[in-house]
Structure 1
Amino acid sequence: MSVEHKKLQERYGKEKGTKIGAILGLISGWGFFFFWMGIWCSPQPRFSISILQDLPVLVPVVNFSIPFFHLIISIPFLIPGAWLAIKGVRETTLKVAETHRTEKIVTRGVYSIVRHPQYLGGLLAHVGISFLLSAWYSLLSTPLMVVLVFLISKKEEEELIREFGNEYEDYKKRVPMLIPKARVMAPKLWIKKLSREVSFVDSAIKTSTR
């Protein structure tokens, strides 16, 4: 979520403003993530699509079953969503993803597909997880989440334009905000790329906790 680092530096000085911005960035970023998790996992009615209901997928330990058809529906959302989100973190670094302090405009990789790949990935994952958990309120909240992500993205871009000026304006003209242009990627390539990104994030988290 947007943190106005430049304004904080002007108000509190560069060093103090940077520290405050980093803290606020962590709070807003992780807060948004836990907000999303709360929507997925909160007590709510469960829905079921009456196709292949006799083939539930049992999840051990938590004693939870996933309707098989819901699992099938969720995969096309979860895999691209996870890939976009993880790839977005990888290409800007975990630190930038956490603090929302951008030092340069990244235009390669997934940032050449959409300007906010992590948010797009989050939205796709939201739909996938809603089906996976059969979470009715979570699924119904999708339009609200789209609006919220759009407003956050717009606010962040206002800050980026103030900081980077024409460079970001040119980037905006070339790359869409959240809806990518038609591109096709083979499912095997998605899975291969996803496995690499999961390994990267796992190693990054281990490094940051040392």
Structure 2
Amino acid sequence: MTARMKNKFTNYATLGLAGVLLPCLLYFLPRYFPRDAWTYAGIALMVPGFLLLAAARVQLGASFTVAARTHKLVTTGLYSRLRHPIYFFGQFIVIGLVLCLHTPWLLAVWALTVIVQLLRIRKEERVLQEKFGEEYRAYRARTWF
């Protein structure tokens, strides 16, 4: 499988996963969890979180992995405002799940995901700085997170 085909497959798989998970989420959550403001707030975070995470993944294309030798710096779409939209919107999903499940100890899981993602971001930014130099510095100066 060529890199281009693998990238297309990953993009379609991401969109397909979001297309399957969102309807399941909307169907099952209200049936098995309390219908209260916390659950609806959680759903209100998870749905756009899934959609925007999937959009960010597709926009990133072949540059999805730091190890890619041929990738370019993606600065359009969601990446024109956020350097790490996949991590950012992934947190919407985790926080939404914590709210839906009404389980305060899951806040510890959320905190752990934040720590892991911040460590990963630090590594990614070092690699991007080395690879793209001034172009990445300028991009970093005009974007958030």
TM-score normalised by L of structure 2: 0.70
| CA RMSD across the alignment | 2.5
Mind listing any 5+ residue stretches in structure 1 that lack a counterpart?
A: 1-55, 59-64, 178-210
Per-residue deviation at 1:117? 0.3
Structure with bigger helix share is: 2
Question: Quick one: percent identity of the two aligned structures?
Answer: 30
Instruction: Tell me the distance in 1 between the aligned counterparts of 2:30 and 2:130.
Output: 50
Q: 2:34 maps to what in 1?
A: 67
Q: 1:171 maps to what in 2?
A: 139
Flag the 1:130–1:145 CA change in 2: closer, same or farther, 3 A.
Answer: same
Alignment pair present for 1:130 and 2:98:
yes
Flag the 1:80–1:57 CA change in 2: closer, same or farther, 3 A.
Answer: closer
Instruction: Tell me the distance in 2 between the aligned counterparts of 1:172 and 1:57.
Output: 40
Instruction: Tell me the distance in 2 between the aligned counterparts of 1:132 and 1:161.
Output: 38
Instruction: Tell me the distance in 2 between the aligned counterparts of 1:139 and 1:66.
Output: 18
Q: 1:200 maps to what in 2?
A: none
- Moved segments of 4+, more than 6 Å: none
Per-residue deviation at 1:87? 1.1
Alignment pair present for 1:158 and 2:126:
yes
TM-score normalised by L of structure 1: 0.50
Instruction: Tell me the distance in 1 between the aligned counterparts of 2:54 and 2:143.
Output: 19
Mind listing any 5+ residue stretches in structure 2 that lack a counterpart?
A: 1-28
In our comparison, the structure showing a higher alpha carbon Rg is 1
The superposition leaves residues 59-118 of structure 1 with CA deviations (integer Å, 9 ceiling, x where unpaired) of xxxxxx11112321112311231132111111012x543x44261111111101210000
Q: How many residues align?
A: 117
Q: 2:49 aligns with which of 61, 78, 81?
A: 81
Q: 2:59 aligns with which of 68, 77, 91?
A: 91
Q: 1:208 maps to what in 2?
A: none
Are the equivalent residues in 2 in contact too, given 1:131–1:139 (CA < 8 A)? no
